[in-house]
């Protein structure tokens, strides 16, 4: 996303009327994601992994929050996120948050 695109996106968001905390949070998230994208953007000519990198960071953070808020009880944490416990466990392993079964 170049500078002009960022300005256009910011202008579109600023024209919207904030009607909920979700709007404000989305605006904060947008700014944070812009900063992350700037740091992570690929400078080589190869295929970018920006989307995968950011989604992994976001998902890992959500899982950590869910676990902390539910006293590290996986079934409660998975319910908190609205996903199946088995899916939660598989993603924990994929995200490096749990040791795989021997």
For 48-85, write each residue's pLDDT tens digit: 889 999 999 999 999 999 999 999 999 999 999 999 99
Average model confidence (pLDDT) across the chain: 86
33 versus 18: the higher-pLDDT residue is: 33
The answer to whether the pTM exceeds 0.85 is no
25-38 mean pLDDT: 93
The reported pLDDT for the residue numbered 46 is 73
- Residues 23-61 as b/e (b if ≥16 CB within 10 A, e otherwise) read eeeeeeeeeeeeeebeeeeeeeeeeeeeeeeeeeeeebe
């Amino acid at each position: 996303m170049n500078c002009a695109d960022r300005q256009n996106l910011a202008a579109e968001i600023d024209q919207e009327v904030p009607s909920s905390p979700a709007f404000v949070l989305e605006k904060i998230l947008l700014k944070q994601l812009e900063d992350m994208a700037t740091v992570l953007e690929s400078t080589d000519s190869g295929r970018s992994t920006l989307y995968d990198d950011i989604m992994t960071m976001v998902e890992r953070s959500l899982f950590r929050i869910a676990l902390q808020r539910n006293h590290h009880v996986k079934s409660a944490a998975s319910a908190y996120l609205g996903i199946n416990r088995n899916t939660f466990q598989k993603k924990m392993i994929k995200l490096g948050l749990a040791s795989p079964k021997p």
